[in-house]
Amino acid sequence: MAAWMLLASVGAAAAAPTQGGTVGLDPWAVYETAWFDTVGVADGLPHSTTTAIVQDTRGVIWIGTFGGLARYDGYRMQVFGQEPDSYAGAVLPDAYVRALMPLADGGLLIGTNAGGLVRFDPVTTRFHVYPIGAGGTSNGKIFAIARARERDAFWVATEGGIDRVDVGTGKITRESGQPGDAKDMLARTFVVTEDKAGNVWAGADNGLFVRHPGGRFQRVVSSDPAIDEILRDQVWALFQDSQSRLWVGTGQSGAVYIDTQGHAQLVPGFSGKNGMARRRTVRAFHETPQHVLWSATDGAGVVTYDFNTQQLRILSHDAAMPSSLPGDITRDIFQDSTGNIWVATELGAAHYDPNGRKVFSVLPSPLQSHTLSNANVHSVFVDPRGRIWLGLGMGRIDVLDLGKGTMHHLQLGGEQAERDVQAFVVAPDGSIWAGAQGISRIDPDTFALRSSMIPSLDGRLILSMQRDGNQILIGGYDGLFQYDTVTGKLIQMRHDAHDPASIVGDQVRHIVRMPDAWWFATISGISIGYDGQPGFVNLRHDPADPASLPQDYTGSMVFDSHRRLWLGTFGGIAYLDTFHPHGPFRFGLIAAREGLVNTKINALLIDHDDRVWASMANGVAMVDTASHRVSDLGIRDGLRIPSYIHRAAAEAPGGELMFGGLGGLTVIRPYWVAPQIVPPRMAVTHVSVNDKSLPLADVPEDGGRIVIGADGRNLRVDFALLDYRAPMETHYAYRMDDADTGWNEVAHGIPPSAIYTNLASGTYTLRLRATMRGLDARTVETSIRIDVTPRWYESPWTLLAAVALAVAAFFGLVSLRTLYLRRRAELLQAQVDARTRDLKAANERLDHLAGTDELTGSLNRRRFLEQAERVRQGAANDGIPFSLVLLDIDDFKTVNDTFGHLAGDTVIRETMRVISSMCRADDLAGRFGGEEFILCLPGALAEHALDITERVRHALAALVIVHGDYRIRITVSAGVAMWRSPESLNSLLGRADEALYEAKNDGRNRSRIAGL
């Protein structure tokens, strides 16, 4: 099951504003994916299984796990466990945390599995363990903690019954199992809550019980046998919603609710053993401000229920979608102060931002019907019926019908089956033509496919298509084609260097109808074909003319409402404030100086408010056409797909903007406004003086202060923006007034900390700053006061006496020092020269060693990737191809197990020797790790690289490696991938790795070429 939110997370499934201001269902609901970020063991959690999540009064998140308690500020994890080296020496009596409850003083109540009830004291940074038994809790196993209506009072559900604790006095009273309680109420109680009317509800091992004010616990029953059976199941979760209904989560029967008249009601699809919970325990409830109930289940993921539409949705783990819920065993749900919804799972704490939905992704997964059938979206097209056609990799096409909420998956056949689908057009007969390697016809009603519509174009890669009456204009790598659908006549137009009226370039990437003309965008400029005139008028970049086309690699073109033309190029966004069909064409430019983070513009779209949206190689930007102000979209807006494809863009019927990328489809709602949330807090989360942590109660808030005693001079202040939303897109800086001359920028990817050593005595102001990326980009600042107490010798009189003594000593020693320095000058100079030579030689040796694999003497992984990246950048500039080859020794573990690890080392050295001996002078060869090797072959097409790889493979297969008395033979498998512009090195490595695994899966001792 995939992680589908379908707008249920924020209630927009019920109603979403449209462009005209009316209200209706969001047609994108069934395609939108909830994107979860996960905090796991790799981030510092003591155990992957998380059980409870809360936020303290400072805004810091606390996460309970099977292995301890963690305090998390978005960057750092402070862990409390049973080990003596737990944070600040605070030790839990039991590392299995079941329940958490934040307290007003910044502390916590903690329920453990066997260690009883614990209170964390932020003043002492220690745990207070309440007694078990007489004067304490009924049992050491604490299942749940709930607030009572009285201040500082809490209900505690335990293995032995219900207790009530007053944290102010420390008094604990036994509340269940008393005279007058239902005799069949079992002591084992999983959950307890007190509603607004003062009724205390208890979920026990054998059903639901209630104690009305002044009464005793009685079983809750229903006259409906089906409901009564559910109410007698184990009850694990209780929650009173905004409509004062009490929700009851059971062990195997899903959930029901008790209305304000006291009657239990079924929820179709959620109640009963055949409901969405699939007999899994419902462990927790949470209602969002948009009135959507989230229900955590122990094995079926999260079930959401929209109070407005009564729609149920499932959020669950999808193995093909890393952004889905990490695991289906969920134990708690919590929404923090800035709106993030946290889910405690068995594979970490996942959090989802329901407010970052101006942008969302349609992602690939083979496990769902409403997900893409391929990761890469190469073309986006809207047909006359408003259906969205997505041209994908490997000959796949997905058709989204927003009106019906369906998605059809099509697969081209023949030569097109393995090629990217890069163009669509509506033919005169109403059919849809798709261009990949050749052209296929698709019936718009039945989706029946017919390959080879134009046989003479079979085998040619199609980049663009447009209809001109009965003519189809077709752009490819071989120029421009004009096909007459009536006569079947095909005319080809190519660039002729001797004819200035020929098309400007043979790679025709985009075709646009303009007033009185067709414009053809190529990688060599733009050709204009005027109606009724032969030949083309060509626009190119002229280095001597700043108003010429800024770059010859061109693509998207759009007009705004003022008839200004906006043009995407690989040199930025060009524009014509005044467009005349026949010119002159004097372009303005929006590029890096105006704020574009990348000038390689892949596609442009314009919304109804005349804002230009541009997809780039590494993101999406919005440009205000009036001011030319550039805003970069970020994760806080919902942008998750990092890289985009040339020309893959279109406007959806509802005004949404769609951009195709490497990883899925990005959809932008230009007019969607996020709900108002509490502005994120910039907070100090940890302070240490001379490497000793301050108690959490002493960590200052905004405007607070830190006092450093006379024995302390080293200070570390950890801080963070507590919105938990895009830590890698938040830039931090700090400065200490009277100590720093400017802001100290925190390096990207490093947890923000302000560190000072040897502070002089005095009073300082430490300023902390966070800058967020996105359409709502802003800067948040806070400051604290630092008081450094002077040491005894730092008094004014002591300093004056020291200065006087220093002056006298200076004049007394100056003559002796001068004589000494003269005698030592020549000797020191000679030593400096000798040491400079030694240092230079040592640095050269260190640089060589840092890039060399110590076993084989070849390039190591780091140095190889550095040099391979230079090859890729060169290829991007001059267009010369290159290929990567990954080779892996087959069954290398058998060599180690049979002959020993020293023999394995000999095999690796000999393998590297053979590989290196067969490389050309410009080739790069290195050890990629373990028994894996890598080659970079500049100038080599895939077939040439395969030939070199095969020679290496045969040479290694024929080699007999001698190690002592052993004679060892090996074979290798290899994957070959040729670089395709503008592909990153990581993507190229991934494709080579896929080809290597294909070779392994096909039987080893063979080579395979990665597909495009």
Q: What share of the chain is helix, strand, coil (3-state, %, to 5)?
A: 15, 40, 45
Sequence-ordered list of residues with C-beta below 8 angstroms from that of 27, at least 6 positions apart, any chain: 402, 403, 405, 654
Sequence-ordered list of residues with C-beta below 8 angstroms from that of 77, at least 6 positions apart, any chain: 43, 44, 45, 70, 71
CA 449 to CA 442: how far, in whole Å? 5
Q: Is 83 a catalytic residue?
A: no
Tell me the three state secondary structure of residue 736.
strand
Cis peptide before 982 (omega within 30 of 0): yes
CA 574 to CA 601: how far, in whole Å? 10
Residue 938's identity, in one-letter code, is P
Q: What is the 3-state secondary structure (H, E, C) of 491-534?
A: EEECCCCCCCCCCCCCCEEEEEEECCEEEEEECCEEEEEECCCC
Measured CA to CA in angstroms, residue 791 lies from 34, 738, 800 at distances of 57, 19, 15
Tokens standing for residue 140: 């050491």
Best CA proximity match to 191, nearest among 241, 250, 136, 260? 250
DSSP category for residue 10: T
Sequence-ordered list of residues with C-beta below 8 angstroms from that of 60, at least 6 positions apart, any chain: 71, 72, 73, 683, 685, 722
Best CA proximity match to 976, nearest among 954, 956, 998, 958? 998
Measured CA to CA in angstroms, residue 755 lies from 297, 688, 745 at distances of 44, 10, 12
Identify any residues that bridge with 449 across adjacent strands, giving them in sequence order.
442
Tokens standing for residue 951: 């020679």
Tokens standing for residue 598: 């990348």
Tokens standing for residue 138: 């009924």
DSSP symbols for 224-271? SHHHHHHHTS-EEEEEE-TTSPEEEEESSSEEEEE-TTS-EEEEEEEE
Which uninterrupted H or E stretch holds 928?
strand 924-929
CA 175 to CA 164: how far, in whole Å? 7
Q: Which of 931, 932, 994, 998 is catalytic?
A: 931
Strands 705-708 and 779-788: parallel
Tell me the three state secondary structure of residue 770.
strand
CA 430 to CA 451: how far, in whole Å? 17
Backbone angles phi, psi at 608, to 5 degrees: -75, -5
CA dihedral 569, 574, 575, 579 (to 10 degrees): -60
Tell me the three state secondary structure of residue 945.
helix
Neighbour-count burial for 450-462, b at 16+ CB within 10 Å, e otherwise: ebbbbeebeebbb
Best CA proximity match to 592, nearest among 570, 563, 607, 610? 570
Which uninterrupted H or E stretch holds 814?
helix 796-850
CA 393 to CA 414: how far, in whole Å? 14
Place of tokens 């059938």: 373
Tell me the three state secondary structure of residue 850.
helix
Extract the runs of DSSP E, i.e. beta strands, from 523-610: 525-530, 537-539, 554-559, 565-569, 572-576, 588-590, 601-606
**Using an 8 Å Cβ cutoff, are 333 and 38 in contact?**
no
Identify any residues that bridge with 255 across adjacent strands, giving them in sequence order.
249
Best CA proximity match to 137, nearest among 91, 93, 102, 106? 93
CA 538 to CA 517: how far, in whole Å? 13
Residues assigned a catalytic role: 931
